[in-house]
Amino acid sequence: MTTEEKKLVARFMGYTDGSDFQYLSHPSTGYDTDIDTLDYDTDWNWIMSVVEKICEYSLVYKEEVDKKRRIRIVADKQAVIDAAIQFIQWYNTQSK
Protein backbone atom coordinates (compact mmCIF):
# COMPACT_ATOMS: atom_id res chain seq x y z
CA MET A 1 0.00 0.00 0.00
CA THR A 2 1.43 3.35 -1.00
CA THR A 3 1.62 6.34 1.32
CA GLU A 4 -1.12 8.04 -0.72
CA GLU A 5 -3.36 4.98 -0.37
CA LYS A 6 -2.74 4.94 3.39
CA LYS A 7 -3.69 8.63 3.53
CA LEU A 8 -6.83 7.95 1.49
CA VAL A 9 -7.93 5.17 3.86
CA ALA A 10 -6.98 7.12 6.99
CA ARG A 11 -8.96 10.18 5.89
CA PHE A 12 -11.94 7.94 5.20
CA MET A 13 -11.57 6.65 8.76
CA GLY A 14 -11.64 10.18 10.17
CA TYR A 15 -8.01 11.25 10.26
CA THR A 16 -7.26 14.82 9.18
CA ASP A 17 -4.10 16.54 7.97
CA GLY A 18 -1.42 16.78 10.64
CA SER A 19 1.49 19.11 11.20
CA ASP A 20 3.28 18.07 7.99
CA PHE A 21 2.92 15.70 5.04
CA GLN A 22 4.13 12.64 7.00
CA TYR A 23 1.55 13.01 9.78
CA LEU A 24 -2.20 12.78 10.11
CA SER A 25 -4.21 13.93 13.10
CA HIS A 26 -5.88 11.05 15.01
CA PRO A 27 -9.70 11.43 14.98
CA SER A 28 -10.14 10.71 18.70
CA THR A 29 -7.08 12.25 20.30
CA GLY A 30 -6.08 14.94 17.81
CA TYR A 31 -2.46 13.87 18.19
CA ASP A 32 -0.27 13.63 15.12
CA THR A 33 0.21 10.08 13.89
CA ASP A 34 3.04 9.06 11.56
CA ILE A 35 1.52 7.61 8.39
CA ASP A 36 4.02 4.74 8.51
CA THR A 37 2.47 3.52 11.79
CA LEU A 38 -0.96 3.07 10.21
CA ASP A 39 -1.18 -0.68 9.68
CA TYR A 40 -4.04 -0.86 7.18
CA ASP A 41 -1.88 -3.00 4.88
CA THR A 42 -0.37 -5.34 7.48
CA ASP A 43 -2.89 -5.86 10.27
CA TRP A 44 -6.16 -7.66 9.52
CA ASN A 45 -7.92 -5.80 12.37
CA TRP A 46 -7.06 -2.42 10.86
CA ILE A 47 -8.40 -3.23 7.39
CA MET A 48 -11.49 -4.93 8.82
CA SER A 49 -12.36 -1.69 10.65
CA VAL A 50 -12.37 -0.06 7.21
CA VAL A 51 -14.55 -2.84 5.79
CA GLU A 52 -16.99 -2.41 8.68
CA LYS A 53 -17.25 1.32 7.98
CA ILE A 54 -17.80 0.63 4.28
CA CYS A 55 -20.55 -1.86 5.14
CA GLU A 56 -22.33 0.85 7.14
CA TYR A 57 -22.97 2.64 3.85
CA SER A 58 -24.49 -0.44 2.18
CA LEU A 59 -24.18 1.24 -1.19
CA VAL A 60 -24.35 -0.05 -4.71
CA TYR A 61 -22.13 1.78 -7.16
CA LYS A 62 -21.74 1.83 -10.92
CA GLU A 63 -18.61 0.75 -12.70
CA GLU A 64 -17.40 2.38 -15.89
CA VAL A 65 -19.22 -0.28 -17.90
CA ASP A 66 -22.41 0.78 -16.09
CA LYS A 67 -22.89 -2.57 -14.35
CA LYS A 68 -23.96 -2.48 -10.73
CA ARG A 69 -22.05 -4.48 -8.15
CA ARG A 70 -21.40 -4.57 -4.45
CA ILE A 71 -17.90 -4.74 -3.05
CA ARG A 72 -17.21 -8.42 -2.59
CA ILE A 73 -15.33 -9.24 0.56
CA VAL A 74 -13.06 -12.24 0.24
CA ALA A 75 -10.65 -13.97 2.60
CA ASP A 76 -7.54 -12.66 0.83
CA LYS A 77 -6.20 -9.65 2.76
CA GLN A 78 -4.72 -7.94 -0.31
CA ALA A 79 -8.02 -8.30 -2.17
CA VAL A 80 -9.81 -6.70 0.79
CA ILE A 81 -7.31 -3.83 0.88
CA ASP A 82 -7.66 -3.28 -2.88
CA ALA A 83 -11.48 -3.37 -2.67
CA ALA A 84 -11.48 -0.90 0.23
CA ILE A 85 -9.23 1.52 -1.67
CA GLN A 86 -11.38 1.18 -4.79
CA PHE A 87 -14.54 1.91 -2.79
CA ILE A 88 -13.06 4.93 -1.01
CA GLN A 89 -11.83 6.40 -4.31
CA TRP A 90 -15.32 5.97 -5.77
CA TYR A 91 -17.00 7.27 -2.62
CA ASN A 92 -14.87 10.42 -2.66
CA THR A 93 -16.15 11.27 -6.16
CA GLN A 94 -19.82 11.19 -5.09
CA SER A 95 -21.86 14.20 -4.04
CA LYS A 96 -22.16 14.34 -0.28
The whole-number pLDDT of residue 11 equals: 92
Residues 54-80 pLDDT 10s: 877 655 544 443 444 444 544 567 777
Residues 18-54 pLDDT 10s: 888 889 999 889 899 999 999 998 998 998 898 888 8
In angstroms, the first-to-last Cα distance of the chain is 26
The helix-helix angle for 3-12 and 44-57 (nearest 10°) equals 50
What residues have CB less than 8 Å from 37, skipping those under 6 apart?
A: none
Number of domains in the chain: 1
The domain of 44 spans 3-92
Query: In a 3-state reduction of DSSP, which class is residue 31?
Result: coil
CA–CA gap between residue 61 and residue 27 (Å, rounded): 27
CA–CA gap between residue 49 and residue 31 (Å, rounded): 20
The whole-number pLDDT of residue 59 equals: 55
